[in-house]
């Protein structure tokens, strides 16, 4: 993930390995067509199905699109009732708001924990920096599911945290830690899982920083904390934005963490969508849920993409 | 703020937070007791239990095949995409193309998974091994594209240009010059793609079908029933495999880097004499 924050899509020059027009064409067309077919086309379909009616059939929705001859009939059967349903039922509105709230709080927590770590890494001796980066990346290579699972054993009422607190005497024999299946457990799980995604872009921004600026500030009598707010932090802002977006956007749609660590009252839209799809088998409603989630995330995604284009 | 003691404390706490849960998980996979909080002595019982669990083994085999196939396809497509982005300044829809490369990186998995499933259903394709493979190829190729792109942007273009100036055809130049130079990044991209495929629960759940249950889907359904040391055992094996893979790939990358620098020096010396 380190590379995400460091790449620069600006081309060097037009000429290169694809001199022949047909090889050039092939190099661009193959991945382009693949992405249009399997990334863009599905969004058009999800939008279409969100306007369909539920049906007890396979696939469980109506109308289906068969040919351009019936295009008028097809459009006349589309309607917005799934969206109206979504805005009528407070459960969905609450889910969206709660997802945004959890994602925002988690992103702030990640910044508060990730920034000091990235700063300490950037200030470490050059010789040990690659090792530190490796240590941040390594947990990311181990399965997401495994890392969330590991926390269940720790946070359970009869789990290791209770045992540890009882052993050191902070907790009586009969007491138990009541974190598992609450929002607190969800925050712990999210911060734990996304920490590398926050630390690496921050580190990439902080590492590039010119230390002579801080030396100049200190020579001119600027206290360190003031130098931090006047110089270090403003210069690391691209990393802050990149890290925040890389975390905030996927957290909003997170399913695994709220499902395994959260309680029945932990509302997150990823979980709602999953239940609509797998539990209630209401594909059109699940599609409408996804379309609205996508619309909510368009602005953060645009910010993220602009940031990626600017960061060198 | 600048004291080294502050930095050391922050890093120690941060890494403890990152590693302690994983270490606990590994340690308890060797626990003879079924209870998480009771240490019943060292035992390999859960490893043999896992080994004889046919469902788990089948899922592991499916996951490995999906991983290898989608990582390979994703690496080819991702490398092409990286070439397109770095070597061709202008082609129709270049902006949209780079957008399509970056968007899947942050797109919530529930959206990607559901939308792909609806595409497969609309096309009348039966869900199973191939639909999961295509789904994984699609999101892993974007990660590969970014890893390879960063390498393409930093390496010395003069070698490529020299080959082209001397009349080497572009395709041959790619295979003789460019590919060997970016190869460490291509391997790193493949590893990343394979790990992401191995790890994915949500997209696979939407796009899987009968007979194509992957390991994360299996682990997820067991985790929902409760924590058992058997899952710790399979997780430990996965962690072990990934750790070995990461260390091996970083060693080969380092060796390739040393060899590349040596070869470049040699080439320059030969050219000079």
How do residues B173-196 score in pLDDT, each as one tens digit?
888 888 988 888 898 889 889 988
Instruction: Round to whole Å and give the CA distance between B243 and B18.
Output: 15
Percent of chain B exceeding pLDDT 90 equals: 29
Average pLDDT estimate for B106-111 = 90
Q: Read off the pLDDT of residues A63-111 as tens digits, 9 standing for 90 and up.
A: 665 555 555 556 666 677 788 888 788 888 889 999 999 999 999 999 9
pLDDT confidence of residue B36: 66
Question: ∠ at Cα B106 (B238, A44), nearest 5°?
Answer: 115
Q: Does A183 score more than 80 pLDDT? A: yes
Contact A59 B121 (CB under 8 A): yes
By mean pLDDT, which of A223-232, B99-108, B222-231 is the weakest? B222-231
pLDDT confidence of residue B81: 94
Instruction: Round to whole Å and give the CA distance between B217 and B161.
Output: 48
Q: Read off the pLDDT of residues B199-217 as tens digits, 9 standing for 90 and up.
A: 899 999 999 988 889 989 9
B37 touches chain A (CB under 8 A): yes
B141 touches chain A (CB under 8 A): yes
Greater confidence (A119 vs B267) lies with A119
Report how far apart, in Å, the C-alpha atoms of A236 and of each of A9, A135, A232, B219 are.
20, 22, 6, 40
Give the DSSP letter of residue B127. P
Q: B138: which chain A residues are within 8 Å (Cβ-Cβ)?
A: 34-35, 38-39
Average pLDDT estimate for B161-182 = 88
**One-character DSSP codes across A21-53:** HHHHHHHHHHHHHHHIIIIIHHHHHHHHHHTSE
Report how far apart, in Å, the C-alpha atoms of A152 and of each of A157, A166, A311, B184 are.
10, 18, 38, 37
**Which residue ranges form the domains of chain B, and what is each CATH number?**
62-272 (1.10.3720.10)
Percent of chain B exceeding pLDDT 70 equals: 97
H-helix segments, chain A: 2-6, 21-35, 41-50, 71-76, 81-88, 90-123, 129-141, 144-155, 160-167, 183-207, 211-219, 224-227, 233-235, 237-252, 256-261, 269-274, 283-310
B167 touches chain A (CB under 8 A): no
Q: Does B235 score more than 60 pLDDT? A: yes
Q: Does A9 score more than 60 pLDDT? A: no
CB contact residues (below 8 A), chain B span 68-97, against chain A: 77-78, 80-81, 83-91, 93, 97
pLDDT confidence of residue A12: 41
Instruction: Round to whole Å and give the CA distance between A230 and B22.
Output: 38
Task: Give this prediction's pTM.
Answer: 0.84
Q: Name residue B42's beta-bridge partners.
A: B31
pLDDT confidence of residue A147: 84
Q: Read off the pLDDT of residues B19-53 as tens digits, 9 standing for 90 and up.
A: 998 888 888 888 887 776 677 788 888 888 888 88
A134 touches chain B (CB under 8 A): yes
Average pLDDT estimate for A246-255 = 92
Instruction: Round to whole Å and give the CA distance between A76 and A176.
Output: 59
Q: Is the dihedral of CA A271, A301, B102, A207 positive or negative?
A: negative
pLDDT confidence of residue A67: 55
Contact A253 B77 (CB under 8 A): no
Contact yes or no for B183/B130 (Cβ under 8 A): no
Q: Read off the pLDDT of residues B3-16 as tens digits, 9 standing for 90 and up.
A: 678 889 999 999 99
Contact yes or no for A178/A157 (Cβ under 8 A): yes
| Average predicted confidence (pLDDT) for chain A | 82
Q: Does A273 score more than 80 pLDDT? A: yes
CA distance B192 to chain A (A): 8
Buried b (16+ CB within 10 A) or exposed e, A137-159: bbbbbbbbbbbbbbbbbbbbeeb
Contact yes or no for B199/B239 (Cβ under 8 A): no
CATH class of A90-310: mainly alpha
CA distance A168 to chain B (A): 15
Q: In chain A, what are the domain boundaries? A: 25-67, 90-310
Choose among A2, A5, A75: nearest CA to A239.
A5
pLDDT confidence of residue A89: 82
Average pLDDT estimate for B82-104 = 85
Of A42, A134, A253, the CB nearest to B110: A253
Instruction: Tally C-beta pairs within 8 A across A and B.
Output: 289
pLDDT confidence of residue B132: 95
| Average predicted confidence (pLDDT) for chain B | 86
Q: Does A186 score more than 60 pLDDT? A: yes
Contact B219 A145 (CB under 8 A): yes
Q: How confident is the model at residue A274 (pLDDT cuts 50, 70, 90)?
A: very high
Question: ∠ at Cα B106 (B102, B111), nearest 5°?
Answer: 110
Q: Is the dihedral of CA B100, B103, B109, B112 positive or negative?
A: negative
Residue of B nearest to A49 (CA): B118
pLDDT confidence of residue A55: 61
A171 touches chain B (CB under 8 A): no
CB contact residues (below 8 A), chain A span 236-295, against chain B: 245-246, 249-250, 252-256, 260, 270, 273-274, 277-278, 283, 286-287, 290, 293-294
Q: A252: which chain B residues are within 8 Å (Cβ-Cβ)?
A: 108
Q: Which helix (H) or strand (E) holds A54?
A: strand A53-54
Residue of A nearest to B136 (CA): A38
What ipTM score was computed for the predicted complex, to two decimals?
0.84
CA distance B272 to chain A (A): 26
Average pLDDT estimate for A300-304 = 85
Q: B246: which chain A residues are within 8 Å (Cβ-Cβ)?
A: 138, 141
Residue written as tokens 């368009």? A298
Instruction: Round to whole Å and give the CA distance between B188 and B148.
Output: 9
Q: Read off the pLDDT of residues A135-153 as tens digits, 9 standing for 90 and up.
A: 888 887 777 888 888 898 8
Q: What's phi and psi for B170, nearest 5 deg?
A: -55, -40
CB contact residues (below 8 A), chain A span 30-49, against chain B: 30-32, 34-36, 38-43, 45-46, 49
């Amino acid at each position: 993930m380190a590379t995400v924050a460091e790449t620069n899509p600006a081309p060097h020059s037009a000429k290169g390995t694809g001199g022949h027009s047909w090889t050039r064409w092939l190099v661009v067309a193959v991945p382009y067509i693949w992405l249009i077919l399997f990334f863009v086309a599905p969004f058009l379909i999800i939008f279409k199905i969100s306007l369909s009616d539920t049906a007890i059939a396979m696939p469980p929705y109506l109308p289906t699109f068969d040919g351009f001859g019936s295009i008028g009939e097809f459009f006349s059967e589309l309607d917005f009732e799934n969206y109206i349903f979504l805005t009528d039922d407070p459960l969905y509105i609450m889910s969206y708001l709660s997802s945004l709230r959890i994602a925002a709080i988690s992103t702030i927590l990640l910044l508060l924990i990730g920034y000091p770590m990235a700063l300490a890494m950037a200030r470490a001796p050059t010789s040990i920096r690659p090792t530190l980066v490796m240590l941040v990346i390594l947990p990311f290579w181990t399965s997401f599911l495994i890392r969330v699972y590991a926390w269940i054993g720790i946070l359970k009422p009869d789990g290791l945290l209770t045992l540890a607190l009882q052993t050191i005497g902070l907790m009586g024999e009969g007491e138990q830690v009541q974190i598992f299946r609450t929002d607190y457990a969800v925050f712990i799980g999210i911060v734990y899982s996304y920490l590398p995604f926050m630390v690496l872009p921050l580190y990439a921004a902080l590492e590039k920083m010119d230390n002579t600026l801080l030396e100049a500030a200190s020579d001119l009598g600027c206290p360190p904390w003031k130098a931090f707010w006047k110089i270090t932090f403003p210069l690391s802002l691209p990393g802050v934005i990149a890290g925040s977006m890389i975390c905030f956007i996927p957290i909003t749609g997170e399913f695994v963490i709220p499902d395994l660590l959260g309680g029945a009252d932990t509302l997150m839209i990823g979980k709602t969508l999953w239940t609509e799809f797998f539990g209630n088998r209401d594909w059109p409603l699940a599609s409408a849920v996804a379309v609205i989630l996508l619309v909510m995330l368009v602005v953060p995604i645009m910010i993220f993409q602009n940031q990626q284009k600017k960061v060198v | 703020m600048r004291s080294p003691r502050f930095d050391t404390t922050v890093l120690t706490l941060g890494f403890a937070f990152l590693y302690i849960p994983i270490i606990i998980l590994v340690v308890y996979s060797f626990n003879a007791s079924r209870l998480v909080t009771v240490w019943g002595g060292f035992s390999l019982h859960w490893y043999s239990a896992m080994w004889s669990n046919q469902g788990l083994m089948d899922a592991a085999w499916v996951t490995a095949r999906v991983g290898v196939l989608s990582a390979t396809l994703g690496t080819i497509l991702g490398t092409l995409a990286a070439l397109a982005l770095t070597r061709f300044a202008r082609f129709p829809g270049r902006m949209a193309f780079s957008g399509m490369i970056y968007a899947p990186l942050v797109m919530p998995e529930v959206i990607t998974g559901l939308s792909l499933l609806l595409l497969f259903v609309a096309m009348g394709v039966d869900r199973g091994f191939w639909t999961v493979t295509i789904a994984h190829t699609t999101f892993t190729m974007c990660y590969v594209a970014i890893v390879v792109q960063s390498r393409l942007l930093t390496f010395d273009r003069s070698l490529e240009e020299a080959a082209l100036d001397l009349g080497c055809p572009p395709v041959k130049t790619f295979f003789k010059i460019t590919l060997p130079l970016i190869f460490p990044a291509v391997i790193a991209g493949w590893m990343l793609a394979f790990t992401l495929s191995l790890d994915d629960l949500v997209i696979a759940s939407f796009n899987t079908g009968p007979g194509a249950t992957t390991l994360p889907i299996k682990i997820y359904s067991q985790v929902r029933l409760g924590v058992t040391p058997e899952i710790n055992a399979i997780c430990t094996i996965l962690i072990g495999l990934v750790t070995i893979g990461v260390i091996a790939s970083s060693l080969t990358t380092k060796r390739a880097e040393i060899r590349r620098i040596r070869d470049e020096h040699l080439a320059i010396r030969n050219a000079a004499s």
